[in-house]
Amino acid sequence: MKRTSRNKLNRYTSFDVFLVIFFVCITFITLYPFLNVLAISFNDSLDTIRGVNFIIPRKFTLDNYKYIFEEKDLFSPLGMSVARTVIGTAIGTICTAMLAYVLSRKDFYFNKLFTIMFIITMYVGGGLIPDYLLIGRTLKMTNEFSVYIIPGLIGVFFLILMRSFIEGLPEALQESARIDGATDFKIWYKIILPLCKPVLATVALFIAVTQWNSFMDTYIYARKLKTLQYVLYEILNDTGVKISNIHDANLNNTAATVTPQSIRMAITIIATVPIVIVYPFLQRYFVGGMTLGAVKD
């Protein structure tokens, strides 16, 4: 008796069926554009011009990708994207962790002052032109690799995320190390950092995604240090020399039959793949982190 009534309450209704169908459609709409681009990137360039590809490449080829890895103008931006992502992430994560530890120390004399100074910058900023004048004109960082690393060194949001994590660690560990005579730096390095692995990984991934995706800083400050995203923008806007280059290559080398459109699709996929691999791991602190950003102070 009890069992049947429970079943009755939990049985699946037509609404449940509708929901499943609805969300399958939503998932399809979300993924399909990527799959379409993927198909085009693996399809023969000339065949792509002839007609629309849906999901499966009609004439499968790796030429588009081969072209990217052989063409220096396309390959070196890929290297630049990787370089800024790796270096920017490493430096950014370490700096954030170091500062987060100091700001988690309630006994530090400047704790309140420094924390407030950082939080204020979440809400007010100089804006586009003052930033440009500082970075581009005063500090002369234009076309220097450091422009990718230094101006955005510490994200206040990540700082707060990490600080709250450190504050949640047991106090006793630090105490005992202090009694043993360890310096604050040693405590951070030997005790705090190893315990922070999960939050470090999360922040690192966030920074990596931001670094990999950014395009405006190249556009504004460092057009000579092209990244993959920037090259994609150039091809997209037909402004770059890339397209004429590709045409020239076609004339000189009849073996490579690629079109700017197909190259663009292949670059799009190359730029997307790292994100697809990495983003599910970011989930852990999503929700907590987002509410933190929205409601904090």
List binders of another protein among 161-200 (CB under 8 A).
183-185, 188
In whole angstroms, the minimum distance from the beta carbon of 60 to another protein comes to: 18
Q: Which is nearer to another protein, 33 or 194 (CB)?
A: 33
Write the CA distances from 282 to 96, 159, 206, 208, 228, integer angstroms: 17, 16, 7, 11, 23
Does 157 bind another protein (CB under 8 A)? Our answer is no
Q: Which is nearer to another protein, 66 or 296 (CB)?
A: 296
DSSP letter for each residue of 132-143:
HIIIIIIS--TT
Residue 267 tokens read as 């670059």
175: part of which helix (H) or strand (E)? Answer: helix 171-179
According to CB under 8 A, which residues from 256 to 275 bind another protein? 261, 264-265, 267-268, 271-272, 275
Taking contact as CB under 8 A, which single stretch among the options 33-41, 85-93, 191-199, 244-252 is the one that binds another protein? 33-41
CA distance 112 to 224: 41
CA distance 112 to 120: 12
Q: Which is nearer to another protein, 10 or 252 (CB)?
A: 10
In whole angstroms, the minimum distance from the beta carbon of 208 to another protein comes to: 11
Q: Say whether 241 sits in a helix, a strand or coil.
A: coil
Does 2 bind another protein (CB under 8 A)? Our answer is no
CA distance 213 to 219: 13
Type of residue found at 87: I
Write the CA distances from 94 to 2, 103, 142, 156, integer angstroms: 58, 14, 25, 14
Does 255 bind another protein (CB under 8 A)? Our answer is no
According to CB under 8 A, which residues from 47 to 76 bind another protein? 52-54
| Residues that contact another protein, how many (by CB under 8 A) | 91
According to CB under 8 A, which residues from 80 to 109 bind another protein? 95, 98-99, 101-103, 105-109
Q: Which of 4, 5, 14, 30 binds another protein (CB under 8 A)?
A: 30
